[in-house]
Amino acid sequence: MNTNVKQAMTAEEVMEARHSVRKYQPGTAIPRQELNEILRLAATAPSSWNLQHWRFLVVTDAAKKERLLSIAYGQRQVVDSSATIIVLGDLEADKSARPVYDHALEKGYVNEQVRDTMIQQIEGAYRGNPQIARDEAILNGSLAAMQLMLAAKAKGYDTCPMGGFDRDALIRELNIPKRYIPVMMITVGKAAAPAYPTMRFPLEQLVIENSFE
């Protein structure tokens, strides 16, 4: 019997096993192909109108990661992890409406009338409404971020989502164009120490049946 064969984790096992790891084995690279597969899986997330608001700014360069240390208020995981990924949200996702719905038309998923209606709807929602653009970028970017963490865990890597960084300094350091808003940093790597345990509220505290009183 081959005892080296590793069983894939179920979706439930991945969700239960994912925790925020803050200590990584320094100098451990993720093979690019594996990282790309994690990013591809992250991008299977759903999104409003299928506009796919997420972009992944992948920082693996040691010197660049070192520059992120002060931006992330000294959180060491940005340096020791194999990659620090900045999930960006597209503030101009309405620009993706045409390519997405032209593709759908070409494939026969929608007819011309539906394509035109969808594009009009999207352009109408975004026009002169920066709050919608920002909400949508963060909302949809976060869905991809979650999937990224689960995909990484399924492939034997740990992650930590991070909101603790200086956004303006990050934008300056990595020349992030105005079109994109940093949603979250995610460190990815091989754990050097387990995550510390965290509690979850019981369902009785979380679930409201049908409506509030």
Ligand X SMILES: Cc1cc2nc3c(=O)[nH]c(=O)nc-3n(C[C@H](O)[C@H](O)[C@H](O)COP(=O)(O)O)c2cc1C
Q: Which residues bind ligand X (CB under 6 A)?
A: 19-20, 22, 75, 160-164, 184, 195, 198
CB of 18 to ligand X, least distance (A): 7
Handedness of CA 134, 137, 143, 146 (dihedral sign): negative
Nearer to ligand X, 77 or 100 (CB): 77
Nearer to ligand X, 49 or 180 (CB): 180
Query: For residue 54, what is the enclosing H or E element?
Result: strand 54-59
CB of 47 to ligand X, least distance (A): 18
Nearer to ligand X, 22 or 55 (CB): 22
Cα 138 to Cα 120: distance, rounded to the nearest angstrom? 22
Q: What per-residue string of b and e applies to 63-74 under the rule 16 or more CB within 10 Å gives b?
A: eebebbeebbee
CB of 160 to ligand X, least distance (A): 5
CB of 19 to ligand X, least distance (A): 3
Cα 202 to Cα 144: distance, rounded to the nearest angstrom? 26
Nearer to ligand X, 75 or 140 (CB): 75
